[in-house]
Structure 1
Amino acid sequence: MSLHARWRRARAAAIGTVTIGLLATACGGSGGGSSTDPDTLIVYTGLAGEWQRNYNPYSPEAIEGIGSIYEPLFFFNTARQDEPAGRLGTEYAWNEDGTELSITLREDVTWSDGEAFDAEDVAFTFDLIRDTPAFNSFGFDGTTEVVDASHVTVSFEDPAYMDAPQLLGKSPIVPEHIWAGIEEPETDIMAEPVGTGPFLLDDFKPQAFTLTSNPDYWDGEPELKNVRYVALSGNQAGADALAAGEIDWQTGPVPDIANFEENHEGYKVITIPMNQTVLVTCANTELGCEGPQTDPAVRQAIFHAMDRETLNSLAFQNTSSEISPGFALPERDAAYVSADLENRTASMTADAAQAEEILEAAGYVRGGDGIYAKDGVKLEMTVNVVTGWTDYITAVNTMAEQLNEVGIKLTVNQASWNEVTDSRNTGNFQLAIDSLYPGASPDPYYIYYQFFHSQSTKPVGESANPNWSRYANPEVDAAIEELGQLNPEDGQDARQPYYDTIQAAIERDMPYIPIMVAGTTSEFNAGKFSGWPTDVNLYAFPAVWSRPDQSQIFRNLKPAGE
């Protein structure tokens, strides 16, 4: 989930390669046949290398646990407009002015060590988030009050309507009786996690770890008994394992995606436009960024120089779609895409003349080697990409050829996921290909707060969370803050002027250079398990690295025939 980071697009990849030899080898997955235990779902998140044991749900390096081990209060479906589904919570409501949130909790829930769950755990978690900057990616500043064992209120000085999905849906609750004794929760890896979720950690090895069903889960023990996470060597290894029937679910590219189901009997494929693929730029010189990419003219030139049709064909098998430079999703958020944008969506073909005109107007001169320069500094930049992510590698290599035609030199640097993530988080990079994740509910507000608000960033050398570009614009900050205080039920007319302001600014400044909306493609073994999301019943975003969506899917899966 470059998750993210986590729950972000954490197709986490580390150094080294391993094979899937942990699993019994067998012939290809004919008839939906997997070479694995019929009660065990084998998943591959894209990690290339070895797992680093970390189940702290608030750590950017957590490998699993959000939703599956540690539960939020509610599940918010980012893929479509659904009512929130209760997890540890059963009801919530705002007072009339949006300054007090009342939450009713599920009763008779126990932690996996047998201790009772109650409102004290929720209050402790919320206070921990508020008081720990590394955990507080959405600026939560509420005051929590325990009413009784199953009721909590959260009070705010100002209306805070838009905090609810993040607080209730993206904040996994942790046990006070354990976490109160942790001196440094930001760095604790939580090797033996204790949660309320449908699964428990069973065993761990660097090459694979297993979650097993929780027999005491409040909603009944899941019918899916085991989930085994394996580490491979990258996208190609994942595709090979799928072809051999050795894994049951992965989210990532495979060859000949158009004929995948025909070539993989029993397997299904689903593609959802969600995460927005971008060139992340370290953009803000005031926070320590250095390099040609700090010039908005350079970022604009790169934007216009891309031939997205070619990128889509060569790198993404035509599964990606148009992206808006205002970063509202053209399909899901169509109503919010500003009419004031110069480009409602990015052109799918290159405009070399426009790119060159922008550079020359900004004072760049093309040298004898064909590369533009200004004040003696050539337009030469390095773009980071994770080793083994073949789609992204193809994309940036193709992009380097395209940009060279307009006088920009791009050097591709492949490195481990750990290296790419660390440099991106700390600002020690020029460009990196990655995806922006959509946020807590299906509303563009969250992508703006997460990636474009100055609250979400830090100077170079400190870890941004997750405004990696170091973007800071007071006008954008103010519009985001006003949106956060508006009740979404007040309607679009009240909210759209703020969206217009934000989108116009970020189209102009372009701290994240739009590539395309990724068609997030998942391949899964429908012959072995039933209950998967479909285009008709898209009850969760079906990416194996998207949390807590993965846990919602685990709870719905049943071994075939049951």
Structure 2
Amino acid sequence: MSPKNASRRRAAAALAGAAVLGLALTACSGGSGSSSSGDTLVVYTGQAGDYQVNFNPFSPTKIGGMGTIFESLFFYNKAEVRDPEPLLGTEESWNEDGTVLSVTLRDDVQWTDGEAFTADDVVFTFDLLKATPAINGGGYDGTAAAVDDTHVTLTFATPMFTKAPDLLSTPIVPEHLWKDIDPTADVVEKPVGTGAFTLKEFKPQAYTLESNPDYWGGEPKVKEIRYLSLSGNQAGADAIAAGTIDWQTGPIPDIQNTHENFPDYDAYTQWQNQMVLGTCSNPDLGCEGPQTDPAVRKALYYAMDRDQLNSLAFMDTANDVSPVFTLTPSQDQFVSPAIEEPVASPTAQTDTAVQTLEAAGWAKGSDGIYEKDGERLALTVEVVTGWTDYITAVDTIASQAKEAGIEITAAQSSWNEWTDKRLKGEFELAIDSLWQGPTADPYYLYNYFFVSTATAQVGESAGNNYARFSDPDVDAALASLSSLPLDDVAARQPYFDTIQAAVWEDMPYVPIMTGGTTSVWNTAEFTGWPSDEDLYAFPAVWSAWDCAEIFKHLEPRG
């Protein structure tokens, strides 16, 4: 790591994590835009290709700005540890044994069609979640009840202390409209929510949100947010240079010197999303290919030269990654003492990669690529068109893997196609990120990406666990952790030890690095951006709930 990167690594120690409904490096698409005028904010999330309308907050292919339209009960700041921010809820508390969560609701909220928001909408939303496994990524299995119009209880058969952040971050939808909606298929072209913004206009090249004059928190100072469609990271960088967008989360050349190069803009970096080569790993659920062999996955891990990757693909903005996905360094205390390598090597361990393959029965062919039972060790990595940093990363990994006798090829596709392949298990490898939970605790990442209930047979859409990892001991450990208070360190660590042993042994997600999420934003036209002094939200335009808070904080300078 460079000295500059090392100082950033130290700054990352206060980070908590990313929410379950946050998006994994989501993006937008091709078109043209104009610079901000007055109270209009122009944003670009990084997705390549035209927008496809989808304002369903439970859909894996929902488009940006969702938290501005639909709201949760509370906002959890995943950039640093803070008390939850009241939204539709004002107070929350558990009973002593962690089986009943009581929530007090606001009494002055309306849906944007004029109907009153009540406790019945909250009960309906949680009942919908429980009745629809495809959208129930957190495994909610409680019983929701309305005490009166402004009080709700969620009751569970066993203690569920750790579930509160996920439950209270669930988007609440209106019963009077959603009783007729299929949450797994409907794209909700005309969304009705309680948020600070509403949909004004949708076109494939751009869509516009406008401020809600009746918002319970007061109408935002930013009156319109325009989401532009561009062709990828390079187009986003060109738009910054031309001054035609106000906020993008993604790479631009010489990003460390953004303000010197573009005086109207500043850049800000945070480290939370752990970049991986996700694998379709489980042959019992229908996965096929060399990557179903754990030795192949482990060999890929050893073959990576992460210093080189950081320099060539990430402009030295990435940081260390743990092979058991405890966020480094803020979650180092949770690493099992049995894990001899708590941080991935910054340089390639090619000899170890080769030894790992040969011990598993792979033999090098005449072309230098390993073979086993007539199958060459040739793998395809799915990557989104326009994600220039990830495309460069895959090309670099391919060169490094070849030294270890592994052939890697990139396959580019649109974000929607990439998402569909990944969730249905119709891939070998996919470059992606695992996100953190709402507090600085690894339980949430493990429960999102390693629990059996969040996966499915190949051909069926999985939840967050698209690698299709399944281990009954891990499931049992996660169930036990969910019943323990977060501050009971001694009681929880043995369960982390069990999970991490399985994660290290199986490695269904091959760790790359912890990505530096960098936003470039217009400080000449708008004030109120997050900063080291006031890191009130995770600064990523594609993070649904965080960007909603940022939009509410911003004020046009004019």
> Deviation digits for residues 175-203 of structure 1, max 9, x if unmatched?
11111122x22111111111110001111
Q: Is the 8 A contact 2:20 2:448 kept in 1?
A: no
Between 1:230-239 and 1:411-420, the stretch displaced more is 411-420
Q: Is the 8 A contact 2:89 2:105 kept in 1?
A: yes
Letter of the aligned partner of 1:261 in structure 2?
H
Say which SS state the counterpart of residue 500 (structure 1) adopts. Answer: helix
Aligned match of 1:551 in 545, 548, 557? Answer: 548
Counterparts of 1:513 and 1:262 in 2: how far apart (Å)?
Answer: 37
- Residues 1:181 and 2:173 are matched in the alignment: no
Q: CA deviation at 1:6?
A: 5.9
The residue type paired with residue 526 of structure 1 is T
| Offset from partner CA, 1:113-140 (integer Å, 9 cap, x none) | 1111110110011111111111100110
Equivalent residue of 1:96, what SS?
A: coil
- Given that 1:425 and 1:463 are in contact with CA atoms closer than 8 Å, whether structure 2 keeps it comes out as yes
Contact 1:329/1:337 (<8 A) preserved = no
Aligned residue for 1:134, secondary structure, equals helix
Output the CA distance in 2 between the equivalents of 1:351 and 1:216.
59
Aligned to 2:450: 452
Distance 1:348 1:547 in 2: 32
2:162 touches 2:485 (CA, 8 Å); kept in 1?
A: yes
Query: Distance in 2 between the 1:50 and 1:416 partners?
Result: 9
1:537 aligns with 2:528: no
Find the counterpart in structure 1 of residue 131 from structure 2: 131
Aligned to 2:24: 9
Give 1:58-457 correspondences, 5 Å limit: 58-169=58-169, 171-182=170-181, 184-457=182-455
* Equivalent residue in structure 1 for 2:498, among 501, 516, 527: 501
Maintained 8 Å contact 2:19/2:78:
no
Match of 2:519 in 1: 522
Secondary structure at the aligned position of 2:371 is classed as strand
The equivalent residue for 1:482 is: 480
User: In structure 1, how many angstroms separate the alpha carbons of the residues matched to 2:395 and 2:20?
Assistant: 24
**Distance in 1 of aligned mates of 2:191 and 2:264:** 34
Q: In 2, distance between residues paired with 1:12 and 1:318?
A: 22
The letter of the residue matching 1:438 is Q
CA distance in 1, matches of 2:416, 2:57: 18
Bigger Cα displacement from structure 2, 325-334 vs 278-287 = 325-334
Identity of aligned residues (%): 56
Q: For the structure 1 residues 532 and 5, does the alpha-carbon distance in structure 2 shift closer, same or farther, using more than 3 Å as the test?
A: same
Deviation at 1:161, TM superposition (A): 1.0
Once the two structures are superposed, residues 414-449 of structure 1 have per-residue CA deviations (whole angstroms, 9 ceiling, x without a partner) of: 111122111110001000101112134332111101
Measured in 2, the distance between the counterparts of 1:5 and 1:434 equals 15
1 CA distance for matches of 2:75 and 2:49? 31
Q: CA deviation at 1:19?
A: 3.2
Moved more, 536-545 or 271-280: 536-545
Q: For structure 2, which runs of at least 5 residues remain unmatched after alignment?
A: 1-17
Letter in 2 for 1:518: G
Moved more, 146-155 or 63-72: 63-72
Q: What amino acid is the match of 1:394?
A: T
Confirm or deny: 8 A CA contact 1:13 1:416 kept in the other structure.
no
What's the offset of the Cα at 1:534? 0.9
Q: Match of 2:69, SS? A: coil
Q: Kindly provide the amino acid, as one letter, of the partner of residue 532 in structure 2.
A: D
Alpha-carbon shift at residue 4 of structure 1 (Å): 10
SS in 2 for 1:47: coil
Q: How far, CA to CA, are the matches of 2:160 and 2:193 in structure 1?
A: 28
SS at match of 1:80: coil
- How far, CA to CA, are the matches of 2:407 and 2:254 in structure 1? 31
Specify the alignment match of 1:32 in structure 2: none
- C-alpha distance in 2 between matches for 1:361 and 1:49: 44
Q: SS where residue 268 of structure 1 aligns?
A: strand
Size of the alignment, in residue pairs? 541
Q: Tell me, what secondary structure is at the counterpart of 1:162?
A: helix
Q: Which amino acid aligns with 1:19?
A: G
- Give the distance between the partners of 1:139 and 1:486, measured in 2 at CA: 17
Is the CA contact 1:5–1:61 (under 8 Å) kept in the aligned structure 2?
no
Offset, 1:10: 4.5
For structure 1, the residue ranges without an aligned partner over 5 or more in a row are 24-34
Q: For residues 553 and 250 of structure 2, what CA distance do their matches in structure 1 show?
A: 22
Q: Distance in 2 between matches of 1:118 and 1:13?
A: 34
Secondary structure of the structure 1 residue equivalent to 2:209 = strand
Q: What do the CA deviations read for 1:463-482 (whole angstroms, capped 9, x no partner)?
A: 11010100001111111111
What is the identity, as a one-letter code, of the residue corresponding to 1:177?
H
Taking a change above 3 Å as real, the CA distance of residues 80 and 4 of structure 1, as seen in their structure-2 partners, is closer
Equivalent in the alignment of 1:19:
31
Residue matched to 2:7:
none
1:77 touches 1:540 (CA, 8 Å); kept in 2? yes
Partner-residue secondary structure (3-state), 1:369: coil
TM-score (norm 1): 0.94
- Report the alpha carbon displacement of residue 13 of structure 1 after superposing the two structures with TM: 5.3
Residues 449-499 of structure 1, C-alpha deviations (whole Å, 9 max, x = no match) = 11011111001000110101000011111111111111113x322212211
> Aligned letter for 1:7?
G
Q: In structure 2, what is the Cα distance between the partners aligned to 1:202 and 1:239? A: 27
CA contact (8 A) 2:401 2:407 kept: yes
What amino acid is the match of 1:41?
A: L
Amino acid at match of 1:149: D
Structure 2 match to 1:492: 489
Q: Look up the match of 1:53.
A: 53
CA distance in 2, matches of 1:277, 1:535: 24
TM-score (norm 2): 0.95
Q: Check conservation: 1:138, 1:449, Cα contact below 8 A.
A: yes
1: CA distance, partners of 2:65 / 2:387: 24
Mapped to 1, the partners of 2:84 and 2:337 lie a distance apart of 30
Please say if residues 19 and 438 of structure 2, whose CA atoms lie closer than 8 Å, have aligned partners that are also in contact: no
Query: In structure 2, the residue corresponding to 1:201 is in which secondary structure?
Result: strand
Distance, in Å, in 2 between the alignment partners of 1:114 and 1:274 is: 38
